[in-house]
Amino acid sequence: MKKNLFIIIVVGVLAVLIGGLVALHFQDVAVITQTRTQLAKVQDTINTLRNDMASMRELTPGSTDVAGVIAAVSSAVVRIDITGAGIVGVGSGFIVDESGYVLTNHHVIADATSIKVTLTTGSSYAATVVDADANRDLALLKLVSPRMDFPKIGLGTASDTTVGEEVMAVGYPLGLELTGPVSFTRGIVSAIRNIGGLDYIQTDAALNPGNSGGPLVDQQGMLVGMCTASVTDPTVNVQGLGLAIPVADVLLFIDSGRISCTNCHYQK
């Protein structure tokens, strides 16, 4: 009888222990399942944040493929060296036609008796003035060369230019003092401003003497303006205030009918 009682007690204890273990097992399974569900939610949140950050990178100015813009634009930008009566100067310009037509500021070549245009490859050509508009500060040059395969810049339209968009100024700043390759600076379109009855693109991309006549391009490397001046005031520390002639005025100058550029066909 005692033996049977002992067996009953042992069996009871084992039943309690097994029951407890089974309960713990199911409890652990429930905890693991809950943890997995929470981890899945966390992973979903992380994935959402990653997608949001990727979208933000696409929208921010920092997303520009700067190297791609430089590669697309560099070959069409030129250095312009001028000499005249007691003067030596340097400016910038850009090729707009495969036959060697170059646009720059009028003030770059206004007093020149000799004009030399140098490409990024190092090749240099004499140039002649085909047309000029002193009021709008635009000039068209023709390289003295039989070549018909000069690299040209892509021209945008006025509708492409919006305040806040990222732009790059290209040219040869401080050309007499700073020798070397074409230079790029980066900024945004700060404003579209009317000065003296003429429209200008205001930009905070750094412009220095020598940048005059160089292109202002958008994130696709398309021309949106021609760099023409940086605002300075000896009584005020002015920074980040440069001006460019809008591409709309550049196109009007090209298409004015005064220019014998038979290969110049652009989207207006």
> Distance between CA 213 and CA 104 in Å, rounded?
4
- What is the bridge-based pairing of β-strands 183-195 and 138-143? unpaired
> Distance between CA 112 and CA 87 in Å, rounded?
8
Cβ 213 vs Cβ 141: under 8 Å: no
Q: Residue 125: CB partners within 8 Å, gap ≥ 6? A: 100, 116, 117, 118, 119, 143, 144, 145
Q: What is the DSSP string of 116-163?
A: EEE-TTS-EEEEEEEEEETTTTEEEEEES---S----PEE--GGG--T
Q: How far is CA 10 from CA 1, 3, 6, 13, 20, in A?
A: 14, 11, 6, 5, 15
Single-letter amino acid code for the residue at 87: I
Cβ 107 vs Cβ 212: under 8 Å: yes
SS3 category, 180: coil
Cβ 138 vs Cβ 249: under 8 Å: yes
Q: Residue 63, by phi and psi: left (phi above 0), alpha (psi -120 to 50) or beta?
A: alpha
Question: Which amino acids are annotated catalytic?
Answer: 107, 137, 212
